[in-house]
Amino acid sequence: GENVEQHPSTLSVQEGDSAVIKCTYSDSASNYFPWYKQELGKRPQLIIDIRSNVGEKKDQRIAVTLNKTAKHFSLHITETQPEDSAVYFCAAVGTGNMLTFGGGTRLMVKP
Amino acid sequence: KAGVTQTPRYLIKTRGQQVTLSCSPISGHRSVSWYQQTPGQGLQFLFEYFSETQRNKGNFPGRFSGRQFSNSRSEMNVSTLELGDSALYLCASSLYGPQKQGLNSGNTIYFGEGSWLTVV
């Protein structure tokens, strides 16, 4: 089945810096890659997603890139703010027809 | 419109008991998936229901079961609870389910707030 690996597991940045989180997937048939942000005690919230027919998608300070050949996708957050502090999960949907999640990245933005 | 609603939010059970969790999807969504979230194992897929049929099942023992009603509301049941079942159980809803993403579909998957289960 699908396997999604996510790095780093923790990331600490200064406010205003950029943050990059990377994920790799194993199923070449995967066609949907969402990113979720989960604050402590809260639900995972979709922040951006990308489908396999595009290589990059941007929404204000957040962008996602997809490299189907290398089977990896990345989340980029620019001009980080303290409220960006949370756990971020990448996920992929492949032939298993389910969301397979990465292990999560705890992002800490220091003021 | 209302989001995905899960009840109860918090519950404590004793080993050996059984528990039923409920999920009401976003209006119009016919797919409901369940996930277990633990610090050690992360987010793991339990099962997915679409139009009252279980379409997909993760790698969990038979103690974990679920069902979906004609109004798309779903329940999951865990029997003979074990300490290791302590977790946040998340429900997710979408129009068509995870597999029907297409190239430009509005098939976003939304999560509920979850049910925190503690087994003592």
pLDDT tens, residue by residue, A20-77? 999 999 999 898 999 999 999 899 999 999 988 889 999 999 999 999 999 999 999 9
> pLDDT class for B71, splitting at 50, 70, 90?
very high
**Cβ separation of A97 and B97 shorter than 8 Å?**
yes
Quote the CA–CA distance of A65 and A81 in Å, as a whole number: 21
Q: What is the pLDDT of residues B4-59, one digit of tens each?
A: 999 999 999 999 999 999 999 999 999 999 999 998 888 999 999 999 999 999 99
**Cβ separation of B101 and A46 shorter than 8 Å?**
no
Q: Which residues contact B41 (CB under 8 A, 6 or more apart)?
A: none
Residues in chain A whose beta carbon is closer than 8 A to a beta carbon of chain B?
31-32, 34, 36, 42-46, 49, 51-53, 89, 91, 93, 96-104
Quote the CA–CA distance of A86 and B100 in Å, as a whole number: 29
What CA–CA distances, in Å, run from B29 to A25, A32, A56, B23, B24? 28, 19, 28, 12, 10
Q: Is B30 helix (H, G, I), strand (E, B) or coil?
A: coil
**Cβ separation of A44 and B45 shorter than 8 Å?**
no
Of B42, B92, B112, the CB nearest to A103: B42
Q: Is B83 helix (H, G, I), strand (E, B) or coil?
A: helix
**Cβ separation of B110 and A53 shorter than 8 Å?**
no
Report chain B residues whose CB lies below 8 A from the CB of A101: 42-44
Q: Which residues contact A68 (CB under 8 A, 6 or more apart)?
A: A28, A52
